[in-house]
Amino acid sequence: MLKMAKTVLALLPLIGCLGCASYVPRDPAYFLGESSDVLRSLEAARAQEEKAPSEALRIYQDFLKGSAPLEPFPSYQEQLKKALDNKGKVQYGSASNFHGESRGFPVTYARWTQAFALAHQGSARVCLAQGTVESAERELLSAMEVIKRCEFCPHTSGESLTESYLILAKIRQTQGQIGKALVAQLSADLVRDHVRSERGVEEFYLEKSLLFGDVARKQFNETQRFYNAVNIGQAQEAQARFNAVATSVSMANAHIQGMAAQQALEKSGGIVTPEVQRAQISAQLARVSAQLNVISNEMHAGGQSKVEFMSTPWAIPTFTQQLVDPKQGANTPAIMKDFAASAAQAGGASYQAGAQQVNQAVDDLMPYRQSAKMDGAVPQVEKFAEVFNAFLTQVQEIKN
Amino acid sequence: MRIGIILQSLKRVAVYMVIPATLSVTVGCGFKERIYIPNPPDQNFKSTSLRVAVIELEDRNPTAKVRTFGALGFADVPGVLYATETDVGNPTQFGKCLAAELKSAQLFSQVDYFPTWEKMTTGYTEYDLVVTGVLNHDTVVGTKTSYGLGPSGVLFMFLGLPWGSDSRDVEFQIYAFHPRKPWAHAWQHKVSFKDYNLYGLYYGHFSDGRLMVNRSRIMHVSSPDDYYNSDYKYSDYCTTQFLQPELKKVREALYATVR
């Protein structure tokens, strides 16, 4: 009996060590790594998609089924704040259960958003190749919806939307809906034009500075230090860290809000410069765009499918601005005219008149593009919208 | 023969216990920073007027599968054969070391390093080239083996069984783009290196016999004196002996692309 007890006693440290060997703290660093892992595995699946489509589809679907659905960013920020608040009040070892709130960091949220979009897009591509077009359409719609949730990653969203529109164009071609394929291609070209515009480049750097800037880094590091302090039971240190974390979380929030607001106004220091005027008109145009979206949504409620609405340029937030501001889209007029020409060619003689009207409407907007003056731009864009919508409705009917 | 081995072992024990203790008293702790030493400039290349901004790499380290930082001490508990400590996700600032290399190369008229992207939101037009990248992983694994305090443990030690090991596996991707065309990478290059150091009674020592433990190579200690004299407050983890040849290739490849 004594011998057995001695043996057990001798084995205890070994058991203890095995236990400690499997310990993985769920701290902010872990979740940053987790978001990297997720992206890496989906990118790897994308790379092998052509060689092993079924395996790639399995990886995409496993990810989508195994991951909690993505909520809007502010809800994770709220969860993060609450979690930190709770952890600030509790004792030793209590911080080991960080979970959903880990998406409350801009960088982790951006990666998860990207991962969801990649998985949906990948599923859409494989489904299309396998002939299940309805599933492909459904997946694609999810990809387009999910990427828009990352409001502070305009560049990544733009790149992802371009890819989604290109896949949609292929789906429509497969279905023999030539007109709808042309519309999807137009949307892809317009988004790409914006991504590569002067404003698009600025958005790239803004996105990077939000995700990998000082504020984001400070928020992350402070949270990690706070976590470590709580986890090892340093109550005073933890309290001090908590205050720093609370400040850094609010700062990160304010930073993102600031980016969403009109930056030209901020830069000018209140002086109404031509740049500010342009930004104000831009905001007005955005409202026009939103109004048109409402009309399109009503169309959607009246029978047009959501994916149809999503495939039109009106679903692109910058579309109207691109028409009158070369900084938002350097080649937008040429892209519109190319679309009109291609549609007229595909549709035949009855489409010529509509195409010419679109060309004329685009030309009418040129003075605004060429000069910084924006007086009268809004009614002119509304006129363009009327002409373009009529043509768009006609084009969507073109079939093989 | 056996006495010789014992004497040699005793000498090593004395060296790695007595010398550090003596030095810490006489010299004091901490007067050196272990930072990357770039390659000297190459006179065969002509300098360009390009202004280069180097921005720190994006940390894409994976999660630790088994992360037991601080667990090595368990190996000293009687009955425990070994303990493993994995330190995955070391966010080494390779961008900073790359900037030092590019500056030292004297191939570009200006090389500025930025740890974050803020400056670029307004200042990207001030540069002709942006160099940045992704740190895929920087994984450090330490193991320690204990053979017990009884006669069997001593026997295993003298037989030369390993006392432990340190390994490091690094991979990062660097790319460059024109500041106005961030979507199009003009150039990219992958850098990777691995290091593995097993140590025991008869191996894993510096040339003078002193034991190379405690992640000395990972913290790019270049000589025994450096190891024993330096403090441990700061290391940029850009191990000079591994990075120098890699970053020389990087700077030459980048120059060949943009000149």
Kindly list the domain boundaries of chain A, sorted by start residue: 27-151+213-259, 269-395
**What is the C-alpha to C-alpha distance for residues A136 and A170, in angstroms, rounded to an integer?**
11
Strands B129-145 and B164-177: antiparallel
Q: Which two tokens stand for residue A365?
A: 């907007």
Q: Could you give the CA distance from residue A376 to residue A281 in angstroms, rounded to a whole number?
A: 10
CB contact under 8 A, B63 and A213: no
Cα(B69)–Cα(B85) distance, rounded to whole angstroms? 5
Total domains in chain B come to 1
Distances in Å between the alpha carbon of B238 and those of A128, A399, B102, B116, B227? 47, 60, 15, 19, 16
Is the confidence at residue A101, as pLDDT, over 80?
no
Q: A30 and B64: CB-CB below 8 Å?
A: yes
Tokens of B157: 């030690």
Write out pLDDT tens, residues A149-172: 888 888 999 999 999 999 999 999
Tokens representing residue A205 in the block = 């750097």
Residue B41 lies in a domain: no
* Cα A88 off chain centre by: 33
* Residue of chain A nearest B67, judged by CA positions: A24
Least Cα separation, residue B26 to chain A (angstroms) = 34
> Between residues A271 and A126, which one has the greater pLDDT?
A126
DSSP B235: B
Q: How many residues in chain A?
A: 400
pLDDT of residue A282: 53
In this prediction, residue A63 has a pLDDT band, given cuts at 50, 70 and 90, of very high
Q: Are A42 and A125 in contact (CB under 8 A)?
A: no
Determine the distance from the C-alpha atom of residue A181 to the mean position of all C-alpha atoms in its chain, rounded to a whole number. 23
DSSP string, B119-162: HHHHHGGG-SEEEEEEEEEEEEEEEEE---SSHHHHHHHHHT--
| φ, ψ (nearest 5 deg) of residue B113 | -110, 135
B212 in Cβ contact with B206 (< 8 Å): yes
Is residue A285 within 8 Å of residue A381, measured between CB atoms?
A: yes
What pLDDT is recorded for position A334?
97
pLDDT over 90, % of chain A: 43
| Cβ-contact B253, B187 below 8 angstroms | yes
Does the structure show a pLDDT above 60 at B66? no
DSSP lists the bridge partners of residue B176 as B131, B187
**CA B257 to centroid of chain Cα atoms:** 28
C-alpha span between B192 and B168 (Å, rounded): 11
Which amino acid belongs to residue B63?
Answer: T
Residue A132 vs residue B155, higher pLDDT: A132
Q: How many residues does chain B have?
A: 259
B149 occurs within a structural domain: yes
Domain that holds residue B103: 2-36+48-258
Name residues 54-93 of chain B within 8 A of A (Cβ): 56, 58-68, 71, 74-75, 77-81, 83-84, 88-89
Q: Tell me the C-alpha distance between A296 and A63, whole Å.
A: 33
**Mean of per-residue pLDDT scores for chain A:** 79
CA nearest to A206 within chain B:
B121
Contacts of B76 (CB under 8 A, 6+ apart): B144, B146
* Amino acid code (one letter) for A103: R
State pLDDT tens for residues B162-218: 888 888 889 999 999 999 999 999 999 999 998 888 888 888 776 666 666 555 556
Residue B235: is its pLDDT beyond 50?
yes
Q: What is the mean pLDDT of residues A65-79?
A: 86
pLDDT tens per residue, range A302-329: 445 556 777 889 888 888 889 988 999 9
> What is the Cα–Cα distance from B89 to B87, expressed in whole angstroms?
7
- pLDDT of A110-147, one tens digit each? 999 999 999 999 999 999 999 999 999 999 999 999 99
Judged against a pLDDT cut of 60, whether residue B117 lies above it is answered with yes
Residue B240, pLDDT score? 84
- Contact status of B134 with chain A (Cβ, < 8 Å): no
3-state secondary structure of B186: strand
What pTM was estimated for this model as a whole? 0.81
Instruction: State the virtual CA torsion across B7, B13, B19, B24 in degrees, nearest 10.
Output: -160
Closest-CA residue of chain A to B183: A196
* Strand B58-59 versus strand B82-88 pairing type: unpaired
Is residue B43, in this structure, part of any structural domain at all? no
Q: Distance between CA A43 and CA B49 in Å, rounded?
A: 37
> Which of residues A54 and A82 earns the better pLDDT score?
A54
Per residue in A320-373, pLDDT tens? 889 988 999 999 999 999 999 999 999 999 999 999 999 999 999 999 898 877
In contact, A385 and A365? CB cutoff 8 Å: no
Contacts of A180 (CB under 8 A, 6+ apart): A172, A308, A311, A396, A398
**Does B124 contact A13 at a Cβ distance shorter than 8 Å?**
no
Selected for mutation to probe chain A from B65, B66, B67 (highest A CB count within 10 Å) is B67
Whole-number average pLDDT of chain B: 77
Q: Which of A10, A155, A217 sits opposite B116 (nearest CB)?
A: A217
pLDDT at A69 over 80: yes
Residue in chain B lying closest to A39 (CA): B60
Q: A93 at the B interface (CB within 8 A)?
A: no
Q: Is residue B187 in some structural domain?
A: yes
Distance CA A181, CA A171 (A): 8
Q: For residue B87, which amino acid is it?
A: D
The first and second tokens of residue A206, run together, are: 């803004």
- pLDDT at A310 (0 to 100): 79
At residue B122, the pLDDT reads: 85
Is B186 an interface residue toward A (CB < 8 Å)? Answer: no
* Secondary structure in 3-state letters for B8-21: HHHHHHHHHHHHHH
| pLDDT for res B12 | 52
